[in-house]
Amino acid sequence: MADELEIPNNALSDNFDLKMHGTKKVIIENHLGVTIYEDNIVTVKTNDSKITIKGSKFKIEEINNYNVIVKGNIKEIIFDKE
């Protein structure tokens, strides 16, 4: 519907936005919280799925109600539909 009306997708849906800066930084917007935070794995819960980021030297740079910024060496991102 958003495409039909030519308006941004996130204006009408609750889906998350994921942005990556190379393999060093990932920004996830519209999340529901962090479920696992370890040095080599970070799992972020979203409205309809779970995002698992695998790699090493992870650090949560910022987390608030709207977005989460994870920095580190990213090797893999897995999306699990709930």
Partner 1 sequence: MLIFKLVYLIRGYVVISIDSNLEKTLNILRRKNISVWDVEKNEKGNKFKISYDDYVKHSDLIKEINDDVSKKGLIFKLNRMKFRKGFSIGLLISIICLFLLTSLIWQVEVVGTNQTNTNKIMRLLKENKINMPASLSKNDMQEIETLIYTDLDLFKFVEVYIEGSKLIIFVREKEAELTEIKSNEPSSIVSAKNAIVYKVIAKSGQPVVKEGDVVYEGQTLVMGIMQNISTEEFLTVPSDGTIYGKTYYNFEMKEEKVRNVNVATNKSKSVYYLNKNGNSIKIIGDKEPYENYNYRENIINLPIISKLTAITFLKATYYEEEIKEVEIDENTALNKMKVSMYDELLRRCSADSRVLKSTINHSEDSD
Q: Which residues bind partner 1 (CB under 8 A)?
A: 33-39, 59-65
Name the DSSP class of 22. T
Concatenating the DSSP letter of every residue in 36-79 gives: EE-SSEEEEE-SSEEEEEEEEEEEEEEE-SSEEEEEEEEEEEEE
Return the number of the residue (15 or 37) whose C-beta is nearest partner 1: 37
Return the number of the residue (9 or 68) whose C-beta is nearest partner 1: 68
CB of 18 to partner 1, least distance (A): 18
CB of 2 to partner 1, least distance (A): 26
Return the number of the residue (21 or 75) whose C-beta is nearest partner 1: 21
Residues composing the chain:
82
